[in-house]
Chains A and B, each alone.
Chain A
């Protein structure tokens, strides 16, 4: 864990005190809403449909038991006893009262947390692989780099008023679990021929209204050059990014309109300049960062219990990820029980997760962009007892990566920008496929749902993406097919006309039925069938009448 320095602690406390004063001035009438809004947004406070919402940063999705317990306390004391984990690896509280927010922020500061830069046109929370520091397939833990970026970007005077928000994701593994190609900047660790560590740098990815995959702007950037290079990208964007049209202000549009070649040349020029002027990062700081994320004191290999119940084995099939140590595993705790709201956890569940992390898993927890909680370092010998405790709390859903492990943004049940609901669509799909054996039979499938074009639910990169819109005064759901957020990233293709609230779940059932008919056995996933056959057979399943009409016409 990264521990705050005296500087960090004072900085966060100062911000809370400042915001406390701003809230008081808003309530007294000294500040208008127009004046107050940008200030509250800078502190993560939104006004949603039914209430304020406080978005709390969980830098690179990493937290410990004490922090999780504090989130539970905050949920109980100032909210309604639950929180919502988001695709940005953050947590949102849905019901805070304006007067309480400074106290909530102070309570966060008590455990070295805050809500800074979770909103506004600044560099947002850096996201990463939820298995960082644990995954068997990793080159290096990306979190020291993520923390370095956080320190560089926090309150960066030049980049506080960018044309638009700016998101950076980093993966330390060739298997991209951080959706790096859908971020303004994606960083992928790799080694060059000489064995040195560095990054492939992607720029201009993003979902939303104009979905685009990031393009490679640098094949190999030595690790030591990271900050001057990032600064060069941001400088170029800050200068050239469009401020005249909010929908064209993201760097992806700049990349698109300027062309990657031209932009690359400009970035390289700025980089050459920066490299001369940039003071190299203090090696003591780098050492401190590396030490902060040093692996825990792993225990030596020990015997694993012989008998594993069928339920545990089924859980292990889906919810375990290979750890770099054979006698360890990373355990994903699904926040997608049938009937639940994806990503929601009650305060009791948060406290249990904190206990489990402390008892079995070296006191580490992660939030995944897929809205689940991970215990990254669990000795396999603890799996039966861990599983039993999860089961007792209703947290042992064995569905990670399956049809009911759905990403859904808050949609029109909370979000002021939404055009339709998304949570209840996820719930209805999960219920339609409730039978866990059937889910295991269907296999790997990523359904992602957004309640508006902003695409917080990553629908463009879902194998099946669902976008909620309004059409003629009712909710309408558009399906995209074949999206992929991993190292083989693709933007899903729009299937055709939207489906009504009543039609959307049967439409998804038809898609999955078509997949089951078309696949060459269980080994071939939905996405693989889609890539082999294209969209046509799936469209035929979605729109049987159109297919029939075509058959008649032919």
Chain B
């Protein structure tokens, strides 16, 4: 990431144009005029599915992995910090982020595919995601957190793993789990099925397991 952080400063606004796909609204696709925001915004999956070419769901450059993924976070589920430098002009123009992170695509300057955000409708990106402008801490911290969820949380050998994380702000499975920028270990090969939650259902690792009893 060092390379990225030094390079991007020189990119400026031209950055957006290089992305494979533009900043078109992600709400196109699903049936218009239906209520929104129910079933954990389930329509996001279908919208993403409709507008992502099959090829973009299947490629993988393999550079992002869980180590770098958690390396940007303070605990499982925390908003990742921004690993690359940001031109000052971006500060009040959220669509500059969305132009690459809305749909992903290859960024030549960074020699990387941009990860896709599962919640492009939240446009005040810097409200949660901040860059790192200093390496040194103010004072050392004794911060600890829990384990990230184990991989492969299948109930049976070969059965579809459950969703270990809450769906809040992570409603769009395809954004993170498919395509070239997906984290290698959690990338799926079969995003072309479309209806993700017909096989994968939440079993949140930080919540107690419920036992069925009559």
B partners with A: no
A residues whose Cβ falls under 8 Å from a Cβ of B: none
